[in-house]
Structure 1
Amino acid sequence: MRNGEKRRGPLFLLEVRERTEEESQAAKIGDKPRAGFTVTKKNGNAVIRNRIRRRLREAVRCHAGRDMAPSTDYVIVAREQALTAPFSRLTEELSRRIKAKGERRSDGKRRTERPESGPVNGK
């Protein structure tokens, strides 16, 4: 996923990468989308991490799965707020991030880019 697109949100980070034909054949799943879930230890103990993972998995299964593009891999890196957010907000946010395909601003730059680093305080 290092060369995939990152879509940041308040509840999670979504990393998206399209698979090549060879990768899809090697995985023996055809063009079905795949989803992976990452919940780091800074989110809490194992009970909390598993609860977050279960909520995200259910959101993908029930709602966001139909928005996923074929032959695409998705990795969802959860943030701590994913545990306490209402489930409806979680599913809406996930669907919105999955549908957002490298949105561009009016100046042609991607919304996910950071500003160029330059001199600090004009010096």
Structure 2
Amino acid sequence: MIPPEAPDENAGNEPPAVSVCLKVMRTRSQFLATARAGRQGTASMVVQARERGDDDPCINVGFTCSKKVGNAVARNQAKRRLREAARLVLPRFGQAGWDYVLIGRAEVTAQRPFQELQNDLIYALKKLHTQT
């Protein structure tokens, strides 16, 4: 027996969810290939991006913070904030078949208000996609 569908309270109020596959970069070669491509700095991060040119429709994303950001706790906090911003922003403003690397900035990434962090990422993505 199939359970009944729950009533859709937001019918017509919000756009449908975009089904985009996000994959996390794991290898150094992926990071280096993206580093050789376009780059856009913002107040809270640097975003590197490149179009892969393969048939994989997923968005690859990587995160990094140098020791300039702080100790391990500060670096992990900055990367967690970047991951969450990417999870919320990339499905809407990223392009399928692209690689993105988000690089945290010292003392800013972990302290900046989260909405401004998201706005910085949106700004960087728009600038990177208009350059190509």
**TM-score w.r.t. length of structure 2:** 0.67
- Give the distance between the partners of 2:35 and 2:70, measured in 1 at CA: 25
Corresponding residue of 1:56: 82
- In the alignment, which residue of structure 1 is the partner of 2:42? 9
SS of 2:68's equivalent in the other structure is helix
User: 2:61 aligns to what?
Assistant: 35
**Cα contact 2:49–2:128 (8 A) shared by 1:** no
Q: Is the contact made by 1:35 and 1:73 (CA closer than 8 Å) also made in structure 2?
A: yes
Amino acid paired to 1:48 = A
TM-score, structure 1 as length reference: 0.72
> Structure 1: where are the runs of 5+ without partners?
25-29, 105-123
Q: In the alignment, residue 47 of structure 1 is paired with which amino acid?
A: V
The 5 A counterparts of 1:1-123 are 1-21=34-54, 30-80=56-106, 81-101=108-128
Q: What stretches of structure 1 move > 2 A for 4+ residues in a row?
A: 101-104
1:95 and 1:38 map into 2 onto residues whose CA distance is 18
Q: Which residue number corresponds to residue 111 of structure 1?
A: none
Q: How many residues align?
A: 97
SS at match of 2:124: helix
Structural RMSD (CA)? 1.6
Question: Contact 1:5–1:17 at 8 Å: present in 2 too?
Answer: yes
TM-aligned CA deviation for residue 45 of structure 1: 0.7
The unaligned stretches of length 5 or more in structure 2 are 1-33
> Secondary structure, in 3 states, of the residue corresponding to 2:128?
coil
Supply the distance in 1 between the matched residues of 2:121 and 2:43 (Cα, whole angstroms): 11
Separation of aligned partners in 1, 2:39 and 2:102: 10
Q: Is the 8 A contact 1:64 1:91 kept in 2?
A: no
The verdict on how the C-alpha distance between 1:50 and 1:10 changes in structure 2, with shifts beyond 3 A counting, is: same
